[in-house]
Structure formats: structure tokens, C-alpha cells
Structure 1
Amino acid sequence: MRQHAFGWWSILRLGMVQAAIGAITMLATSLLNRLMVLEYGLAAGIPAGLVAWHYGVQLSRPLWGHGSDIGRRRSPWILAGMATLGLGALLAVHGVTMLGHARVQGLALCVFAFTLIGAGVGAAGTSVLALLATGVAPQRRAAAAATTWIMMVFGIVVAAGTAGALLDPYSEARLQTVAMGMVGAACAVTLLATFRLEGRGPLLAQAPVAVVPALSLREALGEIFADDEARRFTLFVFVSMLSYSMQDLILEPFTGLVFAMTPGQSTSLSGLQNGGVLVGMIACGVGGSAFRGRLPIELRTWTMIGCLGSAVALAGLAMAACVGPGWPIAANIALLGLCNGAFAVSAIGSMMGLAGAGRANGEGVRMGVWGTAQAIAFGLGGLIGALGVDVARGAFGQPGMAFGLIFAAEAALFLYSALLALRTRRPSLAGTPLTAVKL
């Protein structure tokens, strides 16, 4: 595969693809989750199970990554994945609107829809990251990954805020209209962003590639797991993302049940959280560059700061669950997003550096493996959080105490993630100053 060095314009175009993926995923995993629980009276474990299933489907990420590794182009994988993701989101919306009069059929359609969503996210997302790893010069990989991730969060923020404003007053017809508009816009953005993207820019130095034979998927996976450092990093990704994701499916139901927020208000609050993530990512990147030559802050340090701050914010949410209205819930959620962003940008920088450090033409498989670890963690985290709330509500009889218990458990997991980051010896995580990640 001939590999070209991407300039910042090409990197920004891939960031637009990430933003489109994030916007559609927000619709399926955040907004529809809230509607199933509050508007249609389902137990929180049902939408959590659907989201967990879509993450389970993403166990196929190494397969998608390997396919793009041995193929001549990655753009077709991105386009096909986005089309599949958009179709799945529209079918999921239709399935939700059926819950009021045909619950069994609606749930069956949702299962099929979330299968498509998982396959679409896996194919498109893995191929985007692999294209970054192969098309971006080594010294720019961490910065490029952080930039595209920031743009993905920006897409989620814009989509959440726009959907929240357009959905009030809520109706099923309004939901379908908003969903069709979001999916159409996301697919159009992806098509324009990837048009003639590959093959742009000067060729990267690839002398070793011509003499390195392509590995089978099994051989490529074996090479990764034979590396002790890669295995340790995979464990860190799993544990940290597990703690990162436990509140995803319960935050909007929490604000609805404990703070009596409408669907539009809770969706807008989710946008505020993701806005905090965006600010945290930018602050870490720009702040690290500002300290150039004065304070060489390591990626590991930023990771630990983000994990510890997230634990504090979640402890605040546990208190909010007991106090109820009157607690500064918006500021608390914004703080959680800010600390999540600091953790995420440092971890992503490490992941991209490590993806490009192994065997040539194997970036897709490596990103697929870490994407799989992340997907498993996200699926388990969301499911554990939602089922935990259901069980605790049954035991305590009060939603506030149930949510507070889960938030406290998640805070403890973030503390453990900080300890794992402290013990990690991988140079890409422990020894790379964030001053090298220029946004």
C-alpha cells in the first residue's frame, strides 16, 4: 500500500468523519436510551443491553482493520461503515417508535438495528484510525489523533445540542425527522471528506514495507499479544474505558428521575458534558505546548490527573443523587466532562504512538485490538451501570440512592485506573511529554 503524508487539511477531513460517527452514535446510545427508559417505561437494563450488544458486535474490529490493511484503499471501508451505521440508526429510531403499540416487534427491530450500528462503527472507526496511523508522519501521529478525537466530541456536542433543541416538544414524528436529518448530514459529510483523500501529499518513506510480507489475521494478532508492553497497554485501555463508560447510559435517566428534566433538557445536559470533554482535550494539548521547555509534562501525568479529577466529579454526582434539586448539577457534569477529556486525549496520544511502532502495514489490526478492548469495556461498563441501577432501585426503593451507589463505584474504578497509569512503564504512555502533542 503506497502511503502518503497527510497535511493538516487531510487530518481535519478525517476529523469530520469522526464527528459524523460521533453524532450518529450519540443519537443511538444516548437519546434513544433515555426515551426507552422514561417515555416507554422500559427497565434501564434493556437499552443498556442493546448498547452492550452493539459493542459486542465491535469485537469484529480486528477483522475490519485487517481487511483494510491488506486492501489497496481504506476509504471504501469508511464509506461502507458509515452507510451501515446510518441505516442502523434509522431502524433503531423506527423500532423505538414501535414500542408503544408493538413492543416485541419493536425490540426485535432494535436488536437488528444495533447490530448494524456496531458493525458500522467498527468498520468506519477502525479504518479512520488506521488511515491516520499509516498516512500521518510519526512525529504528528499523537497530535493528529487528538485533533480528530476533539472533532468527534465537537460533533457529539453539536448533535446533542441541536437534537435537544429540535425535540421539544417531543413527538415520534419529530424524532424521526430529526434522525433522518442527522443521518443524511453525517453521510454527506463523510462522502465529501473522503473524496480523493487517499493518495494526497508526498509519499512517506516506506522502504521496509516492500520486503515485509503481509501477515494473516491470526499471525498479526499473535504478534501483538506476544509483546508484553502491548498486552499491558491493552489492560490499561480496558480498565480505564470501563470506568469511563459506566455513567454513559444512566446519566440522562438520572437527570430525568432525580432532577425531573425533560428529554430536551437532559439531552442538552449531555451536550454540556461533551462540551467539557472538548475543553479538557484542548486545554491539555494547548497547555502542554505552552509549557514547552519549562515543565515537560508526561502523558502518564495527564492521564492520572484526568482519572483523579473524574473520580472527584463522580463523587460529587453520588452526593447529588442524595441531595437532589438544588445541587449544581450542570457544573458537576461539566467538571466530569473536563476531566474525562484530559484523560482521553493523553490515552489516545499513547495509543496512536504505539500503533505506529510495530510491524509495517499492521496498523489496522493493532487499532482493531485496542478498539476491541475499548468496545468490550464500553459494553460492560454501560451494562453494569444500568443493571446496577435497576438492582439497587429494587433493593433500596429510591432512585437517588441507587444512582449514588453506581457513581461511587465508578469513582473507585477511576482511582484504580490512575494507579494502573502510575505503574505503566510503556514509553508511549509514561515517557512521552505532552509538549510533543501540538494541536
Structure 2
Amino acid sequence: MNDRPLGWLGIVRLGLVQTALGSIVVLTTSTLNRIMMVELALPAVLPAALVAWHYAVQLSRPRWGHGSDGGARRTPWIVGGMGVLALGGVLAADATALMSASPVPGILLAILAFSLIGAGVGASGTSLLALLATRVTPTRRPAAAAITWIMMVMGIAATASIAGGMLDPFSMQRLAMISGVVSLGAFLLTLAAVAGVEKTPEVASEPSEPKVDFAVALKETLADGQARRFTVFVLISMIAYSAQDLILEPFAGLVFGMTPGQSTQMSGMQHGGVLLGMILVGAAGGFVGGRGQGWMRGWTLAGCGGSALALAALAVAARVGPGWPIAPTVFALGFFNGVFAVAAIGSMMALAGQGKGRREGIRMGVWGAAQAVGFGAGGFFGAVAVDIGRRLFAQDASAFGLVFAIEASLFIVSAVIAARIGAPAASSQTQPIGARHVQA
């Protein structure tokens, strides 16, 4: 298909979809996690298992991507997925409120809600990435990657900060109301963002490529050495990246005595750091130039190393307690996570467009599935390790500190892997090497 390339306005419009996606996900995977652990005094393994389940559902990403590859347009998949995600976000908040009175029905409703969240993120996120890879010219891909993920982080940071302020004084009714408003707003924003974006003469007049069976397309993708190596790299690096996702807000509440609103605002500060890191790398590479293989590898290593140092500082913070400058430490972690992320996104964008035939969707789906497995495994490990540590040490601080130290070590391992791996793909226009997103 020879679609008309997207201009900067079109790229920004699709970035609004990422903004909408991030605004729902931050409440379901961060704020609800903290409320289950602290306000409801439930074991960390419960929210961790729910979030891990939503990542497990995202193993369907290759199928969603293949479906959008075979259609004339990808936007229906984006809109449909966002609708499912919005419904899941509302039900997740309702399920959390129900757990306070009826734990078993609340947990059952939460399983349904997080199933919808996983399916919605998979369908909308994969199809959006495939559309960007298809419609963005190679010279604009690094900048497009930075723009769309910066906008996602803006949605996460803004929602965390605003919703955090509105959650205090906390009540379950207030939580449900905020979740409903955010979910509806995100869906309406998505409708406005994608309206008409694929209505071009080229799309209407080009004949569709003959459909290829899903199993054949998946086999061809995994047979590609570059795609296979990148899949393994994404899996390993995402485990290192996500181990603190589910425990940072509970850490702030249990060790530093923060309220739900304060810890949610701290999460917003972390995502603000991610935003700054993305802007820095996006400006230095996608907008200014210097997108060579070694240059991108350097940013990847800087992101891994800086994240490891920030996590080591959090391990120390757990021992020191409230006197530690927790806010700057969390901001630094977010900053280096953002640096790490843009290298991954640029790599993914470049590699997706190099597949045989119209395979952007399924390639994005395979990498998205690897990312989901890594995120799910990392988040689940972090939460379970905290539960085990609290039993072994009988101290919250020691349990959290151990997990942060392990995660720092995993980032160092990821840096070693990144230093030894060659660029997954190279072209005359972009030669990136890879690692995240996010949530996407």
C-alpha cells in the first residue's frame, strides 16, 4: 500500500491517542495498585497479579496487528481498542471499590476489567504503532517516535498530577467518579484525533495486498534474524525496566508516610522526568540529526546506567527513610527511563517498516507481546519479592530496598547486553539500536 506520508500535524494527532491511552493506564496500574495495598491492606500479590494478567492478555498483540495488516484501514482497530480500554478502566475502579465490602465479587470483577484493559491496549496500541510505521517517512521516524511517546507521558503525568490532587480527601466514590471522567475523556479524544487521518485518495484506490495466514506471517517474522534478536532484547530489558512500577507508590506510602494523593503526585513527578529525558534524546537525535548506530547505543547505555544509579539511590532511601530527598531521586529515575525509552521506540519504528510485505502490524505485535511479557514478569516479580521480603525481614524498608537493588543490577545486565548487540537494523536514513515504551 502506498499511502500518503503523514505530516507533522498528523503525527501529533496520532500522539493524542497515546495521550489518551496513558491517561487511563496510569490510574489502573499505579493508583489502584496503591489503594489495594495501602487503603484496603491487601497483599501486593493481588494487584501485581491483575496487572500481570493484563500484560498476559496482550500476548494477543500479534493477532491484533495481523488483523490491521489485512484491512484497508487501521483506525477502526484503534478506536475499537480504545473503547474496550475505557470500559475496562471504569470497571477496574468499580471493582476496587467493591473489594472494600465484598472481596471475592470485587476480585472477579477486577479480573474482567483487567482483561478488557489488556485487550484494549493491545488492539489500539499495536494498530497505532503500525499506522505510524506505515505512514511516517524514515527520516521522520525518530522524531515521530519521540513526539508520540512524549505525548503519552504528558497524558500520564498530567493525569497523575491532576487526579492525585482531586483524590484527596480520598473516598471510593471520588475514585470512581475520577476514573469515569478520565476514561470518557480519553475515548472522545481518540475519536477526534483519528477522524479522517486515513481518508486519502491513495488508501481508497490502492488494491489490498492478498491476505496471508496469521501462522505464516508470524513464522516469517520470527524467522527474520534481526526481528528475533530484537524480540529477545525487548523481553530482557523490559523485565529490568518494570520491576518498580507496582511498588513505588506503596513504597512512598509505607516508608515515607505519603497519602494517596501525595504518592500519585510523586508518580506524576516521575513521569515528568521521563518526559524530559525523551525530549532531550528526541531533540538531539530526531530533530537535530546524529542518528548513527553508535550514537543511539550511547543513549541506550546512558539510560540503563542512569536508571541503575537512581534505583540504587532508592535502595539507600529505603534505609534512610523520610529524611531522604525522595522527590529528586524519583525524578532522576524517570529522566533516565525516558532516555532509555526513545532509543527503543526509534528502533522499533525503523525495524517495523523493513519487514517483508505489509507486516508492520504483526512485527509491532510480536515486539509488543515481548514487551508485555517483560513488563508483566517484572512487575509481578517486584510485588512478590516485596511480599516475601516483608515476611522475611519484618521491615518494609528492607523489603523495598532489596527489590530496588535487584532491579539496579538487572539494568546493569541490560547495559552489558546493549553494548554487545549490534544495531538490529540499519538503513541509509536511520540506524538505531533498541530497548522500550510504555505503556504502551
| TM, length-normalised to structure 2 | 0.94
Q: Residue deviations 1:269-301, cap 9 Å, x none?
A: 000000000000001122346875799962111
Q: Residue deviations 1:209-267, cap 9 Å, x none?
A: 97964321111111111122211111111111111100000000000000000000000
Which residue does the alignment assign to 2:357? 360
Distance 1:80 1:185 in 2: 15
- Whether the 8 Å CA contact 2:156–2:271 is kept in 1: the answer is yes
- Whether the 8 Å CA contact 1:19–1:151 is kept in 2: the answer is yes
Which residue does the alignment assign to 1:135? 135
Within a 5 Å distance, the mapping from 1:117-266 to structure 2 comes to: 117-200=117-200, 213-266=210-263
Q: Say if 1:78 and 1:399 are closer, same or farther in 2 by CA, change over 3 A.
A: same
Distance 2:315 2:410 in 1: 14
Report the Cα offset of residue 142 of structure 1.
2.4
The ranges of structure 1 where at least 4 consecutive aligned residues each deviate by more than 6 angstroms after the TM superposition are 209-212, 293-296
Greater alpha carbon shift after TM alignment, 214-223 vs 36-45: 214-223
- Whether the 8 Å CA contact 2:142–2:286 is kept in 1: the answer is no
Which residue does the alignment assign to 1:414? 411
Secondary structure, in 3 states, of the residue corresponding to 2:119? helix
Distance 2:209 2:173 in 1: 55
Which residue does the alignment assign to 1:371? 368
Which residue does the alignment assign to 1:116? 116
Q: Say if 1:286 and 1:296 are closer, same or farther in 2 by CA, change over 3 A.
A: farther
Q: Residue deviations 1:117-166, cap 9 Å, x none?
A: 00000000001001101111122222212210110011000000010010
Distance 2:351 2:292 in 1: 24
Secondary structure, in 3 states, of the residue corresponding to 2:335? helix
316, 319, 335: which one aligns with 2:313? 316
Secondary structure, in 3 states, of the residue corresponding to 2:99? coil
Secondary structure, in 3 states, of the residue corresponding to 2:3? coil
Greater alpha carbon shift after TM alignment, 288-297 vs 258-267: 288-297
Distance 2:376 2:207 in 1: 39
Which residue does the alignment assign to 1:437? none
Where do 5+ consecutive residues of structure 1 fail to align? Answer: 435-439
Which residue does the alignment assign to 2:69? 69
Q: Which amino acid aligns with 1:240?
A: S
Q: Say if 1:428 and 1:228 are closer, same or farther in 2 by CA, change over 3 A.
A: closer
Q: Residue deviations 1:175-215, cap 9 Å, x none?
A: 11111110111011001001111134x859x9xx9796432
Aligned length: 430
Report the Cα offset of residue 360 of structure 1.
2.6
Aligned residues: CA RMSD: 2.1
Matched, 1:269 2:266: yes
Matched, 1:20 2:17: no
Q: Say if 1:416 and 1:20 are closer, same or farther in 2 by CA, change over 3 A.
A: same
Which residue does the alignment assign to 1:91? 91
378, 403, 410: which one aligns with 2:400? 403
- Whether the 8 Å CA contact 1:56–1:376 is kept in 2: the answer is yes
Greater alpha carbon shift after TM alignment, 20-29 vs 219-228: 219-228
Q: Say if 1:319 and 1:360 are closer, same or farther in 2 by CA, change over 3 A.
A: same
Report the Cα offset of residue 427 of structure 1.
5.0
Which residue does the alignment assign to 1:331? 328
Secondary structure, in 3 states, of the residue corresponding to 2:211? coil
- Whether the 8 Å CA contact 2:34–2:249 is kept in 1: the answer is yes
Q: Say if 1:427 and 1:95 are closer, same or farther in 2 by CA, change over 3 A.
A: closer
| TM, length-normalised to structure 1 | 0.94
Q: Say if 1:328 and 1:428 are closer, same or farther in 2 by CA, change over 3 A.
A: farther
Q: Say if 1:430 and 1:301 are closer, same or farther in 2 by CA, change over 3 A.
A: farther
- Whether the 8 Å CA contact 1:320–1:329 is kept in 2: the answer is yes
Secondary structure, in 3 states, of the residue corresponding to 1:98? helix
Where do 5+ consecutive residues of structure 2 fail to align? Answer: 433-440
- Whether the 8 Å CA contact 2:72–2:208 is kept in 1: the answer is no
Distance 1:65 1:189 in 2: 22
Secondary structure, in 3 states, of the residue corresponding to 2:422? coil
Q: Residue deviations 1:364-418, cap 9 Å, x none?
A: 0000000000000000010000000000110000010000000000001100111
- Whether the 8 Å CA contact 2:301–2:419 is kept in 1: the answer is yes
- Whether the 8 Å CA contact 2:303–2:339 is kept in 1: the answer is yes
- Whether the 8 Å CA contact 1:298–1:430 is kept in 2: the answer is no
Q: Say if 1:53 and 1:427 are closer, same or farther in 2 by CA, change over 3 A.
A: closer
Report the Cα offset of residue 358 of structure 1.
1.1
Distance 1:433 1:127 in 2: 23
Q: Residue deviations 1:77-109, cap 9 Å, x none?
A: 111111100111111111110112111100110
Within a 5 Å distance, the mapping from 1:385-404 to structure 2 comes to: 385-404=382-401
Q: Which amino acid aligns with 2:253?
A: G
- Whether the 8 Å CA contact 2:230–2:424 is kept in 1: the answer is no
Which residue does the alignment assign to 2:276? 279
